[in-house]
Amino acid sequence: MNDSFQNVLFQLERATKLVSFSPDFLKRIAQPNRQIRVSLPIKMDNGMLNVYEGYRVQFNNARGPYKGGIRYHQETDIEEVKALAFLMTLKCAVVNIPMGGGKGGIMVNPKELSKTELERLSRTWMQTLVDVVGPHKDIPAPDMNTTPEIMAWMADEYAKVTGDTTGAVITGKPLEFGGSQGRATATAQGGFYVFEALQEKLGLPEVCRVVIQGFGNAGEHAADIWTKAGHKLIATSDSRAAIRNPEGLDVLALSEHKKTTGSVAGFAGGETFERDELLYQNCDVLIPAALENQIREDNVDRLQSHVVFELANGPTTPEADDQLFARGVSVVPDILANAGGVTVSTFEWEQNLKKEHWSEEEVFAKLKTIMNQESELIFERAQSLQTDLRRAAFVIALERLQQAMKR
Ligand code: GLU
C-alpha cells in the first residue's frame, strides 16, 4: 500500500504542534472533498480492448477551484493521487494563488502505448470526467509523464463536449493551443527564484555544486537554469543511468545526447556510475526531481549534501526529514520549491479567461515576485518558530486555508 498520504498527514500533524488551529478545521482539512475512480475502456491498435483505471481527487476548494496535474504511471493509485492532491492544496496556499487542490491520474505505463492509443486514453479520461472539471470547478494540468500535447487533446475534447473553447479548463497547453509563455520551464524557473532568495540565508556558497536526481522535465530545465547562473552540475541521473563529472557536466551537450539516445546513459562528457549512488554524492545542493520517497530513514545517513531542494513532490519521508533537520541539513520543501509550475498554470488560466497573452518577461517577473516573497515569509517563520522550512510552509498554508474555510 502506498503510504504517501500517511506521510502528508504526519507532516501536517507535526506542523500543527507548533501553532494552534481549530480542531474542526483540522478534521476537515485532513480529508478530501471527493475521490473519483473511473474505468477507461480503450480500443488498442490491434483491435483488443484494454480497461485502464483513472482518477481525480478533489481535495479542497476553499481558496478557489481544484487545481493539479494528471499523472500517467503504472504504479500510481488512488492513495498516491490523494496525497498529491493534498500537497496541491497546501502548495497553492503557500504561494497564495486563488486555487484549491486536486490531482488526477491513470494507472498506465504510457511508454507501452502508441501515440494514437495515448490520445484515445487521454480523450476518454476527459470525456468520462467532463462534468466534474471546468474553468471554475477543477483545472487539471501536466504531471509525471503527461505533456502539453496531452493537455491539448484534453482541452479539445472538453471543447467538443461542452462548447467551451476558452481553454481555461486545463493548463500546460502548447503555446498554439492557448498555453502560456514560460509554462514549460516554470517549475524549474520558480525553483530557481526560491533558491536565489534562500541561497545566502542557508549558508550556501556563491558557486554551488549541484546534483539532480531525474534529468526529466523539471530536472533538465533546472540543470540548464542553475548552470547558466554559474553553478556546477556535478552529477545527474535518469531511469537508466547516472553520470558524473566533478568539474561540471556540459548540460547542453548532455541534453543533446539525451535527445538522440533517449537517456543520459553513455554520455561521453562524464563518468557513468551506479544509479543508486546518485543521492550520496558530496555536494552543496541535492535536487530530487523524480519520484516520491527517495530519501528515507534507511538511506538518509548516506546523504552528503548541505541542502536538499525538493523539485519533485514528496521525495523525503518524515523520518528522513527529522534526521536531516537534526544534522543541520536544510530541506526546501516541495510545496514551496516546485510551486512555480502551478503558479504559471494559474497565469495561463487567467490569460485564457481574459483572452490575453503575456510575454515571457512578464510571466517570469510576476513569478519571481511571488516566489521571492513567499520564500522570505517561510524563512522568517521558520526562524521565529525555530523549526524547519517544511513545518513553516505548512503553518503558513494552513493559516491561509483556515481563514478561507471560515467564510
Ligand atoms: N503537476 C504540477 C504540480 O505538481 C503542476 C500542477 C498545475 O500546474 O496545476 O505542481
**Do 113 and 76 fall within a single domain?**
yes
Q: What pLDDT does residue 267 have?
A: 96
313 lines ligand 1 (CB under 6 A): yes
Q: What pLDDT does residue 3 have?
A: 83
3-state secondary structure 232-289: EEEEEECCCCEEECCCCCCHHHHHHHHHHHCCCCCCCCCEEECHHHHHHCEEEEEEEC
**Do 240 and 331 fall within a single domain?**
yes
- Nearest C-alpha to atom 7 of ligand 1 is from which residue? 342
Determine, yes or no, domain membership for 19: no
**Do 101 and 245 fall within a single domain?**
no
Distance 140 CA to ligand 1 centre (A): 8
318 lines ligand 1 (CB under 6 A): no
pLDDT exceeds cutoff 80 at 295: yes
**Do 227 and 115 fall within a single domain?**
no
**Do 402 and 269 fall within a single domain?**
yes
What would the pLDDT profile of 207-219 be if each residue is shown by its tens digit? 999 999 999 989 9
314 lines ligand 1 (CB under 6 A): no
C-alpha grid cell, residue 172:
500546460
- pTM exceeds 0.95, yes or no: yes
- The count of structural domains within the chain is 2
Q: Give the mean model confidence (pLDDT) for residues 44-62.
A: 98
How many CA atoms lie within 13 Å of 242's alpha carbon, on the beta-carbon side? Answer: 16
Q: Determine whether the annotation assigns residue 82 to a binding site.
A: no
Mutate to test the pocket of ligand 1, among 187, 336, 352, 371 (most ligand atoms within 8 A of CB): 187
C-alpha grid cell, residue 219:
530536472
What would the pLDDT profile of 89-127 be if each residue is shown by its tens digit? 999 999 999 999 999 999 999 999 999 999 999 999 999
Q: Determine whether the annotation assigns residue 239 to a binding site.
A: no
SS3 (DSSP) at 294: coil
**Do 199 and 131 fall within a single domain?**
no
**Do 337 and 273 fall within a single domain?**
yes
Q: Hunting for cell 513553516 — which residue is that? A: 392
Determine, yes or no, domain membership for 109: yes
Determine, yes or no, domain membership for 101: yes
What would the pLDDT profile of 351-361 be if each residue is shown by its tens digit? 999 999 999 99
Cα 205 off chain centre by: 26
Distance 144 CA to ligand 1 centre (A): 9
Assign residue 104 the CATH number of its domain.
Answer: 3.40.50.10860
Determine, yes or no, domain membership for 293: yes
Give the residue from 159, 177, 195 where a domain finishes: 177
What would the pLDDT profile of 249-283 be if each residue is shown by its tens digit? 999 999 999 999 999 999 999 999 999 999 999 99
Give the residue from 127, 146, 177 where a domain finishes: 177
Q: Give the mean model confidence (pLDDT) for residues 302-307.
A: 98
**Do 144 and 196 fall within a single domain?**
no
Q: Determine whether the annotation assigns residue 67 to a binding site.
A: yes
**Do 90 and 194 fall within a single domain?**
no
What would the pLDDT profile of 181-225 be if each residue is shown by its tens digit? 999 999 999 999 999 999 999 999 999 999 999 999 899 999 999
Q: Determine whether the annotation assigns residue 258 to a binding site.
A: no
**Ligand 1 atom closest to residue 342's alpha carbon, by position in its atom list:** 8
pLDDT exceeds cutoff 70 at 407: no
**Do 273 and 303 fall within a single domain?**
yes
pLDDT exceeds cutoff 60 at 370: yes
Confidence of residue 1 (pLDDT cuts 50, 70, 90): very low
Determine, yes or no, domain membership for 3: no
Give the residue from 146, 177, 208 where a domain finishes: 177
Residue closest to 296 by CA, chosen among 316, 273, 266: 316
The crossing angle, in degrees rounded to 10, of helices 115-129 and 148-162 is 40
CA distances from 220 to 68, 226, 253, 358 (A): 21, 10, 12, 24
The parent domain of residue 153 ranges over: 33-177
Determine, yes or no, domain membership for 194: yes
CA pair distance 401, 407, nearest whole angstrom: 10
Q: What is the mean pLDDT of the chain?
A: 97
345 lines ligand 1 (CB under 6 A): yes
**Do 231 and 249 fall within a single domain?**
yes
Active centre residues (catalytic):
103
Assign residue 231 the CATH number of its domain.
Answer: 3.40.50.720
217 lines ligand 1 (CB under 6 A): no
**Do 345 and 396 fall within a single domain?**
yes
What would the pLDDT profile of 14-35 be if each residue is shown by its tens digit? 999 999 999 999 999 999 999 9
pLDDT exceeds cutoff 60 at 314: yes
Q: Give the mean model confidence (pLDDT) for residues 66-91.
A: 97
Determine, yes or no, domain membership for 9: no
